[in-house]
Amino acid sequence: MKFAIAVYSPAHSPASRRALLFAQAVLAQGHQLLRVFFYQDGVHTASSNIVTAQDETDTAAQWRAFVVEHQIDAVVCIAAALRRGVLDDEEARRYQRPAANLSQPWQLSGLGQLHEAAQQADRLVSFGGH
C-alpha cells in the first residue's frame, strides 16, 4: 500500500511524534511512503534552530534522521514556512533576511505537492492541525 503523510503540528507536539511513529511503522510493514508533507505549524520541524531540552525527546532530529536514512520525499510548504520564518538560502536572499534556517534534507515546495501525493497514494494520513 502507498501512503502519504501530512504533518500539521510542530516537532515538539504529540501529533508530530505520532506521525513519525506511523511513518516508521509504514516502512516496517513493507508499505511505501510516497511523501511526508509538513504544513501549517508542522513546517517548524524543518528549522535548524530548534533546541530541545535535554530531558525531552528531540523529535525534529528524529524526523531528520528518518528522512535521511530512508531517503523520504520530505516537503515543507513554502507559503506556511515563509509566514513562520522558516527559510532556505534562496528565500533568505529573496526576502533579504540575514540567515536561512532550513537545511538538508528538507525542501520547500508548494501545496500542489500535497495534492499530488494524495492523488498517487492509496491513503493520505494527517496528524495535528486545528
Which one is catalytic: 77, 86, 87, 117? 77
Nearest to 12 by CA among 47, 55, 52, 65: 52
Question: Which of 108, 113, 115, 20 is closest to 69 using CA atoms?
Answer: 20
Report helix angle 59-70 to 14-28, nearest 10.
Answer: 20
How many residues are there in the chain?
130
Annotated active-site residue 77? The verdict is yes
Give every strand in the sheet of 74-77, ordered side by side: 107-109, 74-77, 32-38, 2-7, 123-127
Q: Which residues are catalytic?
A: 77
